[in-house]
Structures are given as structure tokens and as C-alpha cells.
Structure 1
Amino acid sequence: MSGVTLTKAVKRYGDVQVIHGVDLQIDHGEFCVFVGPSGCGKSTLLRMIAGLEETSDGKIAIGGRDVTRVDPAERGVAMVFQTYALYPHMTVEENMGFGLKMNGHPKAEIKEKVAEASRILKLDPYLERKPKALSGGQRQRVAIGRAIVRGPEVFLFDEPLSNLDAELRVDMRVEIARLHKDIGATMIYVTHDQVEAMTLADKIVVLRGGVIEQVGSPMQLYSDPDNKFVAGFIGSPSMNFVEGVAGDGAVSVPAFGEFSVPTDVSLPANGEKVLVGLRPQHLNIAESTEGAKVDLCEQLGGVAYSYLICPTGERIIVETKGEEAPISEGTVSISFDPASALFFDAKTEQRLR
């Protein structure tokens, strides 16, 4: 079993603490994605698991074995970096097998393992090529193949698609998802791209400031976020937030007027401020003589995004589907089903339930 367990893991650089007592359980065979904004600690946490960063306090276990103070080479992990780090003078086959060769593995074993990794990653036509004769996506597949031949307990990916263009990113995302399905290994993947997180992960870990904000499946985090940060980070375009005032079982929002709140939501005292969260696809707009001003409209074929400015100055994005031209100018009224709204404490930004 190759699960990963972090128990009160802490990382300090001198007097500066960047990872704050993280507790996390990643089960055997899970695809776990660390996601968050730049500087949130996701790459640092990955490097702590790899042993490339020393763990200041706490414990890290892989497959039930305490590896907190174990050398990286003995942890049973293989890491794929953002940069391909291929040897330019070696062929694809030589690059993939170089680690095994340096560890003294027999030539026949190396050839067998490289052939298997090549089959999985569809690299057979390129085995005799040098890296300079490969595309960016092919080079990244070679880097992944180099990790596969080691037969690790855990694969670690540190933003492996960041250097690829948009089309290649989509192709490689599919390749990595297929790889996980084929070999069933535990994988931990770092990205700042929440679309990658949503499409790849069995489990997402949302980080901010070296602290875990929430852990769950992609749809759990999307539909049931614990706080405003998670609600705004997961989903594209991001959730809209407008300020309202609590009343008796209702919230008054200048942009929409007053509307009833579902009975399972515990509002603060009357007169207290509340943040109302609304997904762009849950809003409807109609032409009106007064209301929000249409600032910009993006039409992308089967979907369009309208960027609105409310009379209060708050900005809202509305998603509409279909090929008919959306409202692109003038003023509009906004409507929605109150059951689709989420509510957050204006001070703590925690979800009101």
C-alpha cells in the first residue's frame, strides 16, 4: 500500500514558518491535487514529501513507513518537474533508463522497463530521437516515462504542464489521467490551475498561506465550499460575491432587492452584513430600463460571458449558453433562484449553514 500521511507537518526557513501543521491523508491509488495561489505552500509541501525540503516538525509516512528523515532516493517516490531536465546528448530510450543504469540494474531489466513505459506513453516511434527533435509534450512524456521505469510507490508532479501551450496542456492532461487509470499508482499533483485540479483529481487539497482551507472531491468543493476563498477559487469563471444585509429569513442586496433565504441557512442578527455567492451560470439577465450596466460581452460559440457593473459598483459575470447573441450593451435586470445562492459571514468569510 502506498498511501501518504502527513501529521502536523511544519516547514520553517529560519524564523519564517511557511507550512503550518498540516494534517493530510492520501489513500493508496488516489490522484490528489494540491491547488492554490502562488506562494500558498503547495510546491513546498510536495518537496517535503519528496525529501527535497527538510520537514521542520511533524511526521511524513509513505506506505505506513515513517520517511520524515529518510533520504529522497529511499522514499519510494519519483518526481516530475515543471522543467523536463532531459540529457540533450542522450536518446529518449537512454534518458528514460539512465536512472536505473546509474543504480546498477541489468541491461535486460532496463530495456524491459523502458519498453513498458514507452508502450504506456506511446513513445515507441521516438525512442531513438534526441530531446531537441521532440515537441514540448513529447519531452514531458519522456520525463514521465523516466519516473515510471523506477516503479515508485508514489508519483509527484510539480506543475508539469506549465511550460506547454494551451492545446498541449489539454492533451497532456488527458495523458496523465489515462496514465493514472492504467497503472493505478498514488499520484500527488501540484498546480495553480483549478481547471487541471477539477479534471484530474480524486481529491483536491486547497491551500492558502501554508494552511489547508478544505479537502474534498472536485464536486464537493465546487458545490459545498467551507468559505469564500474556496468558493471563489474553485470554478471558472469564479463565483460572484455581492454584499447584502440580513433580515428575518431574508437578505437584502442592493443589486437584486430582497429575497428569502433557504431555511437551512443560519443568518447573523438582523442588520448584519452578509456576502452572497452566486455562480455565473445561475444568473439570468433581461433587457431593462434600469439595473446593471453591460460593460463587456465575450461570445465563445456555445457559451457567452457578460460582464456587468451594478449600480453599487459591484462587478458580476453572467454565463449564458446557446448560440444566440447575448445582450451586449445597455442595462439589464438580474434574476436567480435563491436556492442556488451560497451565504458567507462578511467578517470571517466562513460559510453560513
Structure 2
Amino acid sequence: MTGVTLTKAVKRYGATQVIHDIDLDIADGEFCVFVGPSGCGKSTLLRMIAGLEETTEGQIHIGPRDVTRVDPADRGVAMVFQTYALYPHMTVEENMGFGLKMNGHPKTEINEKVAEASRILKLDDYLKRKPKALSGGQRQRVAIGRAIVRGPEVFLFDEPLSNLDAELRVDMRVEIARLHKEIGATMIYVTHDQVEAMTLADKIVVLRAGRVEQVGSPMDLYEDPDNKFVAGFIGSPSMNFIEGTVEGGKLRVPSLGNRLVDAPVGLPAEGKPVYLGLRPQHLTIAPGDSDIKLDIRERLGGVSYDYLIPPGGERIIVESRDNTAMTEGTSVVIDFDTADAMFFDGETEQRLR
């Protein structure tokens, strides 16, 4: 097993640059997740590591080897795609061992490696079945098994759960986490789903427009985001951002009843815009004389999400564990502890600390 290092990695398609000078270290045995919105460059970056996309500038090392110009087959990586790409006429056993067979490995070695992958992925009861007789989750496990038998130095996953329904996605997240724990391999995983990123990763790389916005552990990014984009992307439901203006060393927030908020951080100059960031669980509401209305209440059993409409402001989401009846259309007042709030420069969107 080994780590991956990217140094000033750049990707261009003609005059269009899609990956911008990325420096990144992924440690041996680390589970690293690339996350970001569609079109941010996460799959392109993964394919550059795999060798399926040529790196325009910079270097990619896998362990001590510079693999920037090395063929994909010689990089020591195995990739699991969004589509399973199984051979329909072959059994599970034959699908998993096919790559080794084509490379001339002895049958006894192939059988041993397939048996070990089957044990890890709990596929022993399905080895003689063909893909059409498997569920979506089972097919994805076969695709992962095909990668395992190759014994790669690095596993690459390109949105492997996107084709599964919600329940199977949860099951497969657990399977992939268990797989990483058992074999201890370096894994790089691409997803647009921040829940997958939070639950699977040792390290998250947040990408936007081909640039790295922030790198850190899931809780580091959740509790200490560097900017408004990361704060809004990590966490579900996402953070509320409420616009305000600096006034007399405090923050005047019109959509919160023109409230003046004390900021425990340095604010920009008088009159400058600032975003007040509050996660849904850090807000409380109660019926009261206010211009803020309860629009929709989503009841999810032990928790509810209240969607509020302040006058002239963005929608605000509040997480509530209070099951008391509050009808939609009720006027509410909002309260919060400024110790839970984050503040972001309204022009640069960088966190104020």
C-alpha cells in the first residue's frame, strides 16, 4: 500500500483550464474523498490519477514513483466506476477473475484471490450467479471485488453509489467503510454527496471550479470552514447565511427584525456587508410578534425542519425537536447564541476569525 502526491497538477482542454495548480498529499492507507458540485473537476482529477486523463502540467506520484506519464495499467491503481460494467455472460466468479486470467495468472492464484475478495465482500453465495440475477448493490460489490483481486496500491472510486436507491446507498456506504477498515488500502473516492463524504472520509478535499477550497477531516471542515462555500457545502441541511451590514462595530441584520448582533470576531469597515452563518440546529424559534413567518414544517419523526421566510431575505431552516403544534403561517421570533455563529466577509466570502 502507498500514498498519492499531486504537485502543481494542471489539466487543460485546449485553451480551457479545468484543473488549477493542485497540490495534495494523500497518506498511505488514507480514505480521501473529493467532493464538490457537478462540474467542479473532481472526476477529472481522479481520472488524472488513474492515467485516463493526461496531466497537462505538474506531477503525480504514487508512493515514490512518478507516474505522470505512466500508462494506466502500470500505475498500480484499480478503478470502480459509477456503472458496474460486468460481463453479462460470465458468472460473478468469472467476472472477478477475468482481468487476472487475461494477464496470464495461474488458475490457482486466480481462485485464491477471487475467494479472498468474495470473503471480504460476502459474495460466497453468489459466485455461480450471473449479473442479471443480482441486485444493484450486489453488482457493485462484484465490481469492487474485481478491483480487489488485482491487488492495487490505490483504489479509485468514481461516484460508485449514484445508480443505487437510497436504502442501498446506505448499505453500500457501510460496506465500503468496512472494506477500507479490513484491507487498509489507500482509497480515493469521488462524490457530489456530502453525506457520503462525511461518513466515509478520513480526509475531505472540497473542490470548486477546478480549485481546492479546503482540505481536512470531516469534522474540521464542518466546525471550522475557511469560507462561505465550504460552510454551505458541508452539513445537511446546509448552513443558513443571513446578510447584514457593519454598523457601530456590530452587525445589523434586517431580516432578523433589524437586530444588532455582537460579533466575537473582527468585522470589516463600517457599512461593509457580512454574512451571518448559523447551522439549523443552532437556531430556536417561538411564536411571537414578528415579520418572519413559518412557511413549511417537515416532520421527520424525532426531528422537524422549519422553513422560515423573513421579509426580503433568504429562506432560513431551523432544526427542531419540539413536537408542539405550530401552524404554517405563524409569526415567529428567532433566537441563537452568537458563540455558535460564523461570520463571512460579504465581498470575499472568506471566514472572519
Structure 2 residue 60 is matched with structure 1 residue 60: yes
Deviation at 1:271, TM superposition (A): 1.9
Which structure 2 segments of 5+ residues have no match?
Answer: none
Residue in structure 2 matched with residue 258 of structure 1 by the alignment: 260
CA contact (8 A) 1:297 1:307 kept: yes
CA contact (8 A) 1:304 1:326 kept: no
CA contact (8 A) 1:320 1:326 kept: no
Deviation at 1:274, TM superposition (A): 0.7
Residue in structure 2 matched with residue 215 of structure 1 by the alignment: 215
Cα distance in 1, alignment partners of residues 324 and 204 from structure 2: 36
Partner deviation per Cα, 1:296-328 (whole Å, 9 max, x = no partner): 110000111111010223210111125444553
Secondary structure of the residue that 2:150 maps to in structure 1?
Answer: coil
Scaled by the length of structure 1, what TM-score is found?
0.98
Alignment of 1:1-353 (within 5 A): 1-256=1-256, 257-262=259-264, 265-326=265-326, 328-353=328-353
Secondary structure of the residue that 1:181 maps to in structure 2?
Answer: helix
Residue 66 and residue 325 in structure 1: after superposition, are their counterparts in 2 closer, same or farther (change >3 A)?
Answer: farther
Deviation at 1:248, TM superposition (A): 4.0
Residue 77 and residue 138 in structure 1: after superposition, are their counterparts in 2 closer, same or farther (change >3 A)?
Answer: same
Deviation at 1:260, TM superposition (A): 1.2
Cα distance in 1, alignment partners of residues 133 and 246 from structure 2: 63
Cα distance in 2, alignment partners of residues 282 and 215 from structure 1: 25
Cα distance in 2, alignment partners of residues 327 and 23 from structure 1: 51
Cα distance in 1, alignment partners of residues 327 and 24 from structure 2: 46
Residue 324 and residue 171 in structure 1: after superposition, are their counterparts in 2 closer, same or farther (change >3 A)?
Answer: farther
CA contact (8 A) 1:153 1:185 kept: yes
Which structure 1 segments of 5+ residues have no match?
Answer: none
Cα distance in 1, alignment partners of residues 124 and 88 from structure 2: 18
Cα distance in 2, alignment partners of residues 81 and 27 from structure 1: 22
Deviation at 1:64, TM superposition (A): 1.6
Secondary structure of the residue that 2:222 maps to in structure 1?
Answer: helix
Secondary structure of the residue that 2:316 maps to in structure 1?
Answer: strand
Scaled by the length of structure 2, what TM-score is found?
0.98
Partner deviation per Cα, 1:4-23 (whole Å, 9 max, x = no partner): 00000000111111001100
Tell which deviates more after alignment, 321-330 or 41-50.
321-330
Cα distance in 2, alignment partners of residues 326 and 131 from structure 1: 51
Cα distance in 1, alignment partners of residues 247 and 184 from structure 2: 51
**Which amino acid counterpart does residue 241 of structure 2 have in structure 1?**
F
Deviation at 1:209, TM superposition (A): 0.4
Tell which deviates more after alignment, 198-207 or 266-275.
266-275
Report the number of matched residues.
351
Secondary structure of the residue that 2:55 maps to in structure 1?
Answer: coil
Deviation at 1:46, TM superposition (A): 0.1
Cα distance in 2, alignment partners of residues 145 and 184 from structure 1: 15
CA contact (8 A) 1:156 1:189 kept: yes
Tell which deviates more after alignment, 269-278 or 206-215.
269-278
**Which amino acid counterpart does residue 121 of structure 2 have in structure 1?**
L
Deviation at 1:329, TM superposition (A): 3.2
CA contact (8 A) 2:242 2:313 kept: no
What percent identity do the matched residue pairs reach?
A: 78
Deviation at 1:255, TM superposition (A): 2.5
Residue 183 and residue 327 in structure 1: after superposition, are their counterparts in 2 closer, same or farther (change >3 A)?
Answer: farther
Cα distance in 1, alignment partners of residues 79 and 317 from structure 2: 39
Cα distance in 2, alignment partners of residues 207 and 140 from structure 1: 26
Secondary structure of the residue that 1:8 maps to in structure 2?
Answer: strand
**Which amino acid counterpart does residue 319 of structure 1 have in structure 2?**
E
**Which amino acid counterpart does residue 62 of structure 1 have in structure 2?**
I
CA RMSD after TM alignment: 1.0
Deviation at 1:286, TM superposition (A): 0.4
CA contact (8 A) 1:232 1:239 kept: yes
**Which amino acid counterpart does residue 209 of structure 1 have in structure 2?**
A
**Which amino acid counterpart does residue 201 of structure 2 have in structure 1?**
A
